[in-house]
């Protein structure tokens, strides 16, 4: 006797009944790039279908998000001015702060998450304060905390530090609490790898390091036990949600984190993952819709709850079609 697995694959209804993993539009977080200037909606060449928006045109994307049911946004700012200490990042009139206020004005129920990092704001492109070509961890923490507080002041619901400095969650939690933002949550880029999959993003955000690389602070792609230590520390320091980034090449990390920890897990389906699917589809090699949905489903199956993806809006439309 052998088991007839195919019985449960006979038709759509039974396949639906036994399906273990579903994508929901509420799982998606949409990364959005905001620039200074006016009347700008410019396609990002490295991330087809995604745009740089100036503040005065944000209503277009906010309306679109509402229309497709994506209710959560992760904001990145591209400032006009960069300096050694990334002062644009904690300016109360900085690009992200203005964008947060605008989005909350346009749609008070939009859940606004801000990426907290210095690389888009520093002239050297590193994620912290640099001395002798080395990013100073503890000095950077003071800046990171200051940036987080200024985002919270502008109205951010959640802070997402992506710098990979040690002790940043504790520094941010303390600073938020001291400034009256006890209810602003933290999603930590806990296991953020030093990945070549960020290429298209660095073009979109103009944040490539001007010398060296990020190996001194981001994680070695070869390590998984180290990721568990990073996650454990972030939970201890007060992270509400932990993240594994990138997504698809690190499904094992997501799974292990899911098995070990009970905090919600997010994953970032990064720019390179998106761009690969786009490019292959364009070359006529794959079916974009099926591959994209399969990729996103695999992230949930591995154990992620939330998915930060450039496919958010498109996937929301596809999911709606399927119904
Ligand atoms: C750093 C940051 C990066 C990404 C998100 N936040 C780039 C980096 O670490 O170099 C990458 C996201 C993507 O590739 O989609 N602020």
Contact 116, 147 (CB under 8 A): yes
Confidence band (pLDDT; 50, 70, 90) for 147? Answer: very high
Q: Please tell me the predicted confidence (pLDDT) of residue 173.
A: 98
Helix H or strand E segment including 148: helix 137-154
* Residues constituting the chain: 323
Q: Looking at residue 314, what DSSP letter applies?
A: H
Whether 294 is in a domain gets the answer: yes
pLDDT of residue 252: 98
Going by pLDDT thresholds of 50, 70 and 90, the confidence category of residue 214 is very high
Strands 72-78, 129-131: pairing kind: unpaired
Give pLDDT, residue 234. Answer: 98
How many percent of the chain have pLDDT more than 70?
100
**119 close to ligand 1 (CB < 6 Angstrom):** yes
Give mean pLDDT, residues 183-188: 98
Average pLDDT over residues 87-99: 96
Structure tokens at 199: 């290429």
CB distance 191 to 162 below 8 Å: no
Average pLDDT over residues 151-159: 98
pLDDT > 90 fraction of the chain, expressed in percent and rounded? 94
Pocket mutation for ligand 1, best pick of 151, 187, 198, 217 (most atoms within 8 Å of C-beta): 198
Buried b / exposed e along 26-35 (16+ C-beta atoms within 10 A): ebbbbbbbbb
* Neighbouring-strand partners of residue 202: none
- Which residue, 192, 210, 289, is CA-closest to 247? 192
Tell me the whole-structure pTM to 2 decimals.
0.97
| pLDDT at residue 205, as a whole number | 87
Q: How would residue 291 be classed by pLDDT, with cut points 50, 70 and 90?
A: very high
The set of residues, in sequence order, having a beta carbon less than 8 Å from that of 66 and lying 6+ positions away, is: 107, 110
Report whether 85 belongs to an annotated binding site.
no
Q: What pLDDT score does 132 carry?
A: 87
203 close to 156: Cβ distance less than 8 angstroms: no
Residue 310 assigned to a binding site: yes
Other beta carbons less than 10 A from residue 139's beta carbon: 14
First to last CA, the chain: 38
Angle at 175 between CA 150 and CA 181, to 5 degrees: 70
CA of 126 to the centre of ligand 1 (A): 11
How much is the pLDDT for 322? 81
Q: Is residue 13 part of a domain?
A: no
Render 59-113 in DSSP notation, one character per residue: HHHHHHHHHHT--EEEEEEE-S--BTT-GGGS-TTSHHHHHHHHHHHH-TTSEEE
Q: pLDDT (tens digit, 9 = 90+) per residue, 304-323?
A: 999 999 999 999 999 999 86
Is there a contact between 31 and 185 (Cβ–Cβ < 8 Å)?
no
Where would I find the H helices in 166-311?
Answer: 168-178, 199-205, 225-237, 251-260, 271-282, 288-302
Beta bridge partners of 188: 242
Q: Is residue 10 part of a domain?
A: no
The answer to whether 307 and 313 are in contact (CB under 8 A) is no
Given the residues 82, 192, 278, 300, the one annotated as active site: 192
**Residue 317's pLDDT is what?**
98
CATH of the domain at 42: 3.20.20.70
Q: Which of 82, 98, 102, 245 is catalytic?
A: 245
Measured in whole angstroms, how far is the alpha carbon of residue 21 from the centre of its chain? 22
The reply to whether 192 belongs to the active site is yes
- Ligand 1 within 6 A of CB of 208: no
Strands 72-78 and 28-35: parallel
Question: Ligand 1 centroid to 192 CA: how many Å?
Answer: 9
pLDDT at 206 over 90: no
Q: What is the DSSP letter of 214?
A: S
Number of domains in the chain: 1
Taking the C-alpha atoms of residue 23 and residue 321, their distance in angstroms, rounded to an integer, is 13
Residues 6 or more apart whose CB falls under 8 angstroms from that of 237 comprise 167, 169, 170, 173
Q: Are the C-beta atoms of residues 286 and 38 closer than 8 Å to each other?
A: no
Whether residue 5 lies inside any domain: the answer is no
pLDDT tens-digit readout, 68-84: 999 999 999 999 999 99
- pLDDT tier, 21 (very low <50, low <70, confident <90, very high otherwise): very high
Of the given ranges (30-39, 62-71, 83-92, 301-310), which has the lowest mean pLDDT? 83-92
Task: Compute CA 271 distance to the chain's CA centroid, rounded to the nearest angstrom.
Answer: 10
User: Does the C-beta of 271 come closer than 6 Å to ligand 1?
Assistant: yes
Spatial separation of the C-alpha atoms in residues 263 and 246, rounded to whole Å: 19
By residue range, what is the domain housing residue 253? 20-322
Give tens-digit pLDDT for 222-268: 999 999 999 999 999 999 999 999 999 999 999 999 999 999 999 99
Distance of CA 168 to the CA centre of its chain: 17
């Amino acid at each position: 006797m052998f088991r007839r697995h195919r019985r449960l694959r006979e038709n759509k209804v039974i396949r639906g009944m036994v399906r273990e993993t579903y994508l929901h539009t509420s799982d998606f977080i949409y990364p959005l790039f905001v620039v200074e200037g006016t009347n700008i909606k410019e396609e990002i060449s490295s991330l087809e279908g995604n745009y740089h928006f100036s503040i005065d045109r944000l209503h277009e994307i906010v309306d679109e998000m509402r229309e497709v049911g994506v209710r959560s946004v992760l904001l990145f700012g591209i400032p006009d001015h960069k300096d050694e200490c990334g002062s644009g990042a904690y300016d109360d009139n900085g690009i992200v702060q203005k964008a947060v206020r605008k989005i909350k004005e346009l749609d008070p129920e939009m859940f606004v998450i801000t990426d907290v990092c210095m690389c888009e704001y520093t002239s050297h492109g590193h994620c912290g304060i640099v001395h002798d070509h080395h990013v100073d961890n503890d000095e950077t923490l003071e800046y990171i905390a200051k940036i987080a507080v200024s985002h919270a002041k502008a109205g951010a619901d959640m802070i997402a530090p992506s710098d990979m400095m040690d002790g940043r969650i504790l520094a941010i939690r303390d600073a938020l609490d001291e400034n009256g933002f006890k209810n602003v949550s933290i999603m930590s880029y806990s296991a953020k790898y030093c990945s070549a999959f960020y290429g298209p993003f660095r073009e979109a955000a103009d944040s490539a390091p001007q010398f060296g690389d990020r190996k001194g602070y981001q994680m070695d792609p070869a390590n998984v036990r180290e990721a568990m230590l990073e996650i454990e520390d972030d939970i201890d320091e007060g992270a509400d949600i932990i993240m594994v980034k990138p997504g698809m090449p690190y499904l094992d990390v997501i799974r292990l984190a899911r098995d070990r920890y009970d905090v919600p897990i997010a994953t970032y389906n990064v720019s390179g993952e998106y761009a690969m699917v786009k490019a292959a589809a364009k070359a006529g090699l794959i079916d974009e819709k099926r591959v994209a949905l399969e990729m996103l489903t695999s992230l949930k199956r591995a154990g992620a709850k939330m998915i930060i993806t450039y496919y958010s809006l498109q996937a929301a439309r596809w999911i709606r079609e399927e119904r």
